[in-house]
Chain A
Amino acid sequence: MRREGSALNGVGVVLLKELSDHLTSVLMRVCEVLIVLLAFAALYFTIQQVKETTAEDQFLFLRLFTRASEGIPITFVLLLSWFFVPILAIVLGFDSVSSEHNRRTLSRVLAQPIYRDALLFGKFAAGLLTISFSLVALWLLVIGLGLLRLGVPPNAEETARAFIFLLVTIAYAGVWLALAMLSSIIFRSAATAAFVAFGLWLLLTFLWPWFLAPMVANVVAPLDPGYTALGLPTPENIEWIKILSRLSPSTLYNEIALVLLNPDDVSARSLGTIYLTQLQGAARGALPLGQSLIIAWPDIVALVAGTIVLFTIGYTAFQRQEVRA
């Protein structure tokens, strides 16, 4: 049975309304402050270290994103991956649908000549656009401040890599936004939805890759006493940990960032297990951008696919939901 009219009718209207809601909210003011602080943090982490090694470094600018300063165990990439992006996305998404229920606006809006699709698409697009604004602002700030402090302009390849990194960061935000919206579709109470979304963030970002994935891997592929006796990890076990931990979007994102932003690092030449024998005789030097992209591609696809899967589940649940409160 074909339904008449386009599912996209009204998406633009919903998008503009949601966007203006986001951009005028207190949340956005807080976010602006955070962006400035984060940009300074990125510089603070790295600037001293980078200054000492300037002369030789071909990818000086990318170090802004990846270097950790002494005594501070976290990099700018990890700040984004673990905290800023997921939290911003969850905060933007956790009450996007449930608030329409709770304000009793849903039935009134859906009684207009639009499909439910429009409401959901519009809300998702507005959320992602808001995050994109923030990330672009942050990215420009980091690069701008970097220019000022380092006094060296980034070369073409660095710019390209940093730009792709920005796009990947937006895609990464999409996963968390879709997750938060799914939570807001399933749970009518905003508090429950927020709690569940943040719970999943804790689980997926920290518990899963650090504790649960290794535990499961140990069951699937137990440690070989032969390797353990020699103080080496069991290759199969390591392989499983890697595979399982990729269920976490932050693991995927971190891997992509590693490959994109550390072209001259040998560990960024493959996302699988690298054996010592494979490194023997390997040519020194940096990977070209195309090669880095090929290595990171499966992870990028997985991130986008994750977004689509989560959004589809939410979409299906929303279509079946009763309108009445």
Chain B
Amino acid sequence: MSDDIVIEAKGLTKRYGRTAVVKGISFSVNRGEIFGLLGPNGAGKTTTILMLLGLSDISDGMARVLGYDPIREPLAIKRRVGYLPDQVGFYDNLSASDNLRFIARLLGLERAEREQRIAAALAHVGLADVSEKRVRTFSRGMRQRLGLAEILMKDAQIAILDEPTSGLDPQVTLELLDIIRGLKHRGVSVLLSSHLLDRVQSVCDRVALFSEGNLALIGTVPELGRQVLGGGFRVEVEAEGEGLDRHLAAVPGVQKVEDVRPGRVLLLAERDVRPEAAAAVVSAGGRLLRLAVAEPSLEAIYTQYFHEHPREGEIHAA
């Protein structure tokens, strides 16, 4: 295993009785990247995470986290990996800092080190003012931030975040995503799971698409876009003028022209055709208002993929 891979799974399988919840998935997470596990609820994301942490038995296959085996060396992994569970809970009767203090003691941190790390972590997530308040009074977003503070305090090499943004309002979500990006800047590798696609798209370097316990697709968002949506480049053109569609369709390299709304079209092309498209609009006597390369949206990829590969249940229903 190379030093750059922090999490590796090969044929990872989880069975409850006869039903397999995770069906032999393989993926790897590189050092310093943010990797997203995406998929609908119940697709096996949380189970996969628990297996990686050694909190759930692995039925079949192999997993390595920082080179350690979750079955044989769970403590080595848990010492180096921070985990923010779905709907994280704290001891309501204790203050924010006391909650962290308990975890720091479990980690075996010395007193001075402990206090210094707790203060720094709480300040980093913006909870310094309420550090002595009981967690009972905390909102959902504050709890999530406290969970991230715990990972910071732990000085983890990997942060595993299960649905970190679910149930949060947009403003808090953005703050949280900022903290997650901050983790990356500190050199922490992040594995996060979510079913909220547009949020995740903005932070993830690579994503894996879960479906019914299988990994359907793995790659960067543009890669998946090419794979699923076809075509290399998607160029958005906003222009005013007569018969522009025809002229744009004639541009070499353009495979398809889609009308998004009046005055706005989407070009599917095999390369960056922006200069040619601009020339085409101008030579046709139109007024060019905007020209941009459109990132494929994860939502579109996701929808398209499941449209082309209906889930098992849906096939039977059809």
Contact = CB atoms under 8 A, between A and B. Distances in A.
Interface of A: 1, 3-5, 9-10, 13-14, 17, 21, 103-105, 107-115, 322-325
A4 B88 contact: no
Contacts of A4: 72-73, 75-76
A112 B106 contact: yes
Interface centre among A13, A107, A115, A322 (most CB of B within 10 A): A107
B50 interface: yes
A113 B106 contact: yes
A208 B103 CA distance: 44
Given A3-B72, A4-B72, A103-B91, A111 B78 contact: yes
B56 A322 contact: yes
B85 A104 contact: yes
Interface of B: 46-47, 50, 53, 55-56, 71-76, 78-79, 81-85, 87-93, 102-103, 105-108, 147, 150
B106 A107 contact: no
A103 B150 CA distance: 17
16 contacts: A3-B74, A4-B72, A13-B102, A17-B105, A103-B89, A105-B89, A105-B91, A111-B53, A113-B107, A114-B75, A114-B106, A115-B74, A115-B75, A322-B56, A324-B56, A325-B87
Tell me if A's interface is mostly helix, strand, loop or mixed: loop
A112 B50 contact: no
Given A113-B78, A115-B75, A17 B93 contact: no
B318 to A, nearest CB: 32
Interface of B is mostly: mixed
A111 B55 contact: yes
A108 B82 CA distance: 9
A105 B90 contact: yes
Contacts of B103: 108-109, 112
Nearest to A3: B72
Contact of B55 (A1, A107, A325): A107
Contact of A323 (B56, B75, B82, B88): B56
B102 A107 contact: no
Contacts of B76: 4, 113
A113 B55 CA distance: 11
Contacts of B56: 322-324
B75 A5 contact: yes
Nearest to A10: B106
Given A111-B82, A113-B79, A325-B87, 7 more contacts: A5-B75, A104-B88, A108-B88, A111-B85, A112-B106, A114-B75, A115-B74
A115 B105 CA distance: 14
A110 B103 CA distance: 10
A111 B81 contact: yes
A158 B46 CA distance: 61
Given A4-B75, A13-B105, A104-B88, A111 B83 contact: yes
Most buried by B among A3, A10, A109, A112: A112
A177 B55 CA distance: 26
B76 to A, nearest CB: 7
Nearest to A99: B91
A121 to B, nearest CB: 14
